[in-house]
């Protein structure tokens, strides 16, 4: 899995930023795509996975070598636990299998809410900020709109944006999919929030979390 800071090339980042600028020429809305490595560290998955594997290895080893002695089991378990913990931490595919998909949904949603505030999307003049969060580890996309938009645009409208990006990620065309999603956001907002003569670009056009 590529880290967030390498997920898009410099040229692709510029292309996305240009797409945001183009979409914002049609609307007073502020669109902020954001890419993060992970929405949460999921330490419980590491503990449960490492504990289970170390327990199995410790029991088998003590039974096969030490005559079921606890003095063989304990050191093998402890060494195995820390070893498997490191292995799981550095194996995203394995770690992902140890986590309930519902937990992914909750953590990505929470990350989107926190990022919405941290990036200042709640401070736009007309409450028209939109965050498009791409969380790489979870393979999830979350779209969050401010109160001014939600008052006029049904929340399920953003399912279309999520689908566009998810399909692009699966097809290996994440840059064009993100640009398409941004352009679609601009079209959806244009009807209710046309650009004003004194509009300014209040927020960054792309955020990549290190």
pLDDT in tens, 146-196: 888 888 887 788 999 999 999 999 999 999 999 999 999 998 888 888 887
The structural domains of the chain, with segments of one domain joined by +, span 4-40+100-208, 43-97
Q: Which residues of 66-202 form beta strands (DSSP E)?
A: 129-135, 140-145
Domain 4-40+100-208 has CATH 3.10.310.50: yes
CB 8, CB 174: distance < 8 Å: yes
Confidence of residue 105 (pLDDT cuts 50, 70, 90): very high
Residue 201 confidence (pLDDT) above 70: no
8-47 exposure pattern, b = at least 16 Cβ within 10 A, e = fewer? beeebbebbbebbeebbebbbbbbbbbbbbbbbebeebbe
Task: State the Rg of the chain over Cα.
Answer: 22
For residue 67, the model assigns a pLDDT of 67
Confidence of residue 143 (pLDDT cuts 50, 70, 90): very high
Residue 129 confidence (pLDDT) above 70: yes
Residue 199 confidence (pLDDT) above 70: no
For residue 166, the model assigns a pLDDT of 94
Provide, rounded to the nearest whole percent, the portion of the chain with pLDDT above 70: 97
CB 117, CB 195: distance < 8 Å: no
Residue 43 confidence (pLDDT) above 80: yes
Q: Round the average pLDDT of the chain to a whole number and report it.
A: 90
Residue 137 confidence (pLDDT) above 80: yes
CA 106-139-182 angle, 5° bins? 95
Confidence of residue 66 (pLDDT cuts 50, 70, 90): low
For residue 2, the model assigns a pLDDT of 84
């Amino acid at each position: 899995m590529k880290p967030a800071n390498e997920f898009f090339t410099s040229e692709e980042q510029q292309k996305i930023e240009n797409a945001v600028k183009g979409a914002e020429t049609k609307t007073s809305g502020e669109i902020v795509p954001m890419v993060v490595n992970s929405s949460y560290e999921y330490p419980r998955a590491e503990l449960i996975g490492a504990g289970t594997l170390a327990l199995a290895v410790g029991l088998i080893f003590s039974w096969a070598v030490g005559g079921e002695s606890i003095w063989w089991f304990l050191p093998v378990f402890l060494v195995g636990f820390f070893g498997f913990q490191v292995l799981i931490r550095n194996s995203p595919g394995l770690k992902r299998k140890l986590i309930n998909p519902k937990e992914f949904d909750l953590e990505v949603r929470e990350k989107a809410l926190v990022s919405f505030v941290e990036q200042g999307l709640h401070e736009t003049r007309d409450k028209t900020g939109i965050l498009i969060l791409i969380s790489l580890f979870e393979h999830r996309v979350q779209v969050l709109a401010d109160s001014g938009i939600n008052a006029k645009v049904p929340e399920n409208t953003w399912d279309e944006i999520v689908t566009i990006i998810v399909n692009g990620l699966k097809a290996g065309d994440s840059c064009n999919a993100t640009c398409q999603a941004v352009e679609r956001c601009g079209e959806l907002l244009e009807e209710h929030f046309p650009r004003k003569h004194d509009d300014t670009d209040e927020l960054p056009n792309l955020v990549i979390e290190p």
